[in-house]
Structure 1
Amino acid sequence: MDLLCTESINSVTEAGGDQLSSSNSATQQTPMEVRLNTAVKDPTFLDDRCLENLLKSEERHARQHSNYFATVQKDITPDMRRVVAEWIIDLCEEQNCQEEVSLLALSYMDRFLSLIPIRKTHLQILATGCLLLASKLREPNYKALPVELLVFYTDHSITKKDLIRWELLVLSRLKWDVSTVTPLDFLELLLCRLPIENKKCHDISIEKVRKHAQAFISLAAREHYFSNYTASTVAASSIAASLSGLKWDLRSGQSISYLVNKFTDLTGIEQEFICECMDKMEALFQEQRRRLPQSMHITSATATIVSQHLQQQQQSCVNFKCSSTTPTDVIEL
């Protein structure tokens, strides 16, 4: 039994009869705008059972990435991986993709690189194939990135036929296990279990912390060494780093150590890993802070959040304008 809706907009309009046609004749002449409708948030998906299932799911890929630059890849360097990661994130930003698409594509790419050695000339087509696959899973059917568009973004350095072949190659090497958990999957489950909002810091809301944490996750996705941590560790560390940057611990009376202990109780992650990942995020943030005005590879959304985060740490305001552009130096790989 097919439960999918197969009727088109035109057929529904024609079935409405002459009354609908006469009353909405002007509407029929104008193409109907397709909008993305999302379901209302269901509190059921925030239950402890959902968090436990996500923790079990991420165990399948835990520590799978390792340091493949030293063990598997001989022709690929971390700098090359960073350029491709920035290209993927910029592309998704320009096409208004779901936030999980870029993270999922990078996860596929890291898993593939930890298994199969490739030449540096194949790195971009691998990234494009992973992005095509991720968009099919996390984007609605009518918004999945077309093959022609991805070929255009590579400056036609690849062909449609080769891209489809690499997509199948990625699927076969990953054994069709593409239900990868990302840090964004844990973000809401962890935020709703923390006492973030209180009277002492009324200007810090869950939504504000969520945006800052998403910016940290986006920054971390550019660096390969964060792939050694589980998705829950990256999510917990991004929240802790965001609250630390917003001075939540000083204003609320709760220490960052309290947050780390809370995350350990919720996820079972050792405090050492959370603190280590958090320190690396803050170090990356400071590095990005120094080169942000000159950088053109960071997405506009992330740049806005990072700028707000800097304003919380400093009294002075940093004014900059960062546009999202597609890097061309990927082709030189």
Structure 2
Amino acid sequence: MNYVDRYLSCVPTYKNHLQLLGAVCMLLASKLRDTMPLTVKKLCIYTDNSITPCQVLDWEVLVLEKLKWDLLSVIANDFLDHILQRLPLPQNKVDLVKKHAQTFIALCATDYTFAMYPPSMVATGSIGAAIHGLSASLDCISGEELTELLASITGTEVDCLKACQEQIEVALAENLKQPSQHPQEYNPDKNSVYQDTQEVIWTNTPTDVTDINL
């Protein structure tokens, strides 16, 4: 999303090129972040072959040029481990909180209203929202004390952090109100994507928003 936003901010783009742009940005991001990057062939399959490998490779060079080859962007996920290790959380619950926080961050990436917040604020608000939602199962700090601790760790203002966290929780509530578009295609295994080749591809998708209850 960082690459997409930066590219669109400087290059007028036709609507019929957005899917191609998104695929190229996913390719670049996976090369930078994943140990096993996405392949061009796989991205074309994901678009139902509406784009070609040649287009992806040509646009990869174009996007890199427009972004001035500056791909090392700091994103909200980069802050999670640094913040979580400074919170008094039960050791066996850290991964659960992180997974829920990743879901909130992914949700924020789909809403332009969060563009006003820096990545560190989105990460901090997402952790606060995650702990708030899991407070019944976590025997740890919560409420005002948690907000103040998070604010001190990241050097943010308490009021700004509260506003961000509340906005995240509202966004989640709105998202949960939306009915599933394809209920008949529900798969109990939410961590895999199936292709017509019967190949199972494991993904890094965080907890589904329907698994979160505030």
* TM superposition score category, shorter chain reference: 0.7 to 0.9
Cα displacement (A) at 1:226: 2.2
Q: Deviations over 1:101-143 (max 9, x none)?
A: xxxxx11111112222211111111111111111111222xx3
Equivalent pair of 1:249/1:255 in contact (CA under 8 Å): no
Q: Percent identity?
A: 39
Q: Secondary structure at the match of 1:193?
A: coil
Q: Which letter maps to 2:12?
A: P
Q: Deviations over 1:247-288 (max 9, x none)?
A: 369964x44332222222222223333222212211111112
Equivalent pair of 1:236/1:263 in contact (CA under 8 Å): yes
Question: Compared with structure 1, are the counterparts of its residues 177 and 156 closer, same or farther at alpha carbon in structure 2 (3 Å cutoff)?
Answer: same
Partner residue, 2:168: 281
1:309 is aligned to 2:189: no
Equivalent pair of 1:183/1:234 in contact (CA under 8 Å): yes
Runs of 4+ with deviation above 3 angstroms = 248-252, 295-299, 301-308
Equivalent pair of 2:83/2:124 in contact (CA under 8 Å): yes
Partner residue, 2:108: 220
> Which residue among 241, 245, 269 is the counterpart of 2:133?
245
Question: Compared with structure 1, are the counterparts of its residues 149 and 303 closer, same or farther at alpha carbon in structure 2 (3 Å cutoff)?
Answer: closer
Partner residue, 2:194: none
Q: Which letter maps to 1:278?
A: Q
> Which residue among 257, 266, 272 is the counterpart of 2:159?
272
Q: Which runs of 5+ in 1 are unaligned?
A: 1-105, 199-203, 314-333
Output the CA distance in 1 between the equivalents of 2:127 and 2:82: 12
Question: Compared with structure 1, are the counterparts of its residues 284 and 300 closer, same or farther at alpha carbon in structure 2 (3 Å cutoff)?
Answer: farther
> Which residue among 2, 6, 15 is the counterpart of 1:120?
15
Partner residue, 1:190: 83
**Aligned CA-pair RMSD:** 2.8
Cα displacement (A) at 1:174: 1.2
Question: Compared with structure 1, are the counterparts of its residues 125 and 250 closer, same or farther at alpha carbon in structure 2 (3 Å cutoff)?
Answer: closer
Q: Bigger radius of gyration, 1 or 2?
A: 1
Equivalent pair of 1:213/1:239 in contact (CA under 8 Å): yes
Equivalent pair of 1:233/1:277 in contact (CA under 8 Å): yes
Q: Deviations over 1:221-255 (max 9, x none)?
A: 22222233221111100110011112369964x44
Q: Which letter maps to 2:165?
A: M
Cα displacement (A) at 1:304: 5.1
Output the CA distance in 1 between the equivalents of 2:138 and 2:88: 14
Output the CA distance in 2 between the equivalents of 1:166 and 1:261: 45
Equivalent pair of 1:215/1:306 in contact (CA under 8 Å): yes
> Which residue among 203, 211, 225 is the counterpart of 2:99?
211
Bigger mean CA deviation after superposition, 144-153 or 178-187: 144-153
Output the CA distance in 1 between the equivalents of 2:206 and 2:118: 25
Question: Compared with structure 1, are the counterparts of its residues 183 and 119 closer, same or farther at alpha carbon in structure 2 (3 Å cutoff)?
Answer: same
Cα displacement (A) at 1:214: 1.6
**Counterparts of 1:94-133 in structure 2 under 5 Å?**
106-133=1-28
Q: Secondary structure at the match of 1:226?
A: helix
Bigger mean CA deviation after superposition, 255-264 or 178-187: 255-264
Output the CA distance in 2 between the equivalents of 1:186 and 1:268: 13
Question: Compared with structure 1, are the counterparts of its residues 160 and 249 closer, same or farther at alpha carbon in structure 2 (3 Å cutoff)?
Answer: closer
Output the CA distance in 1 between the equivalents of 2:38 and 2:48: 16
Q: Which runs of 5+ in 2 are unaligned?
A: 192-204
Equivalent pair of 1:243/1:249 in contact (CA under 8 Å): no
> Which residue among 155, 175, 190 is the counterpart of 1:300?
190
Cα displacement (A) at 1:300: 2.7
1:236 is aligned to 2:91: no
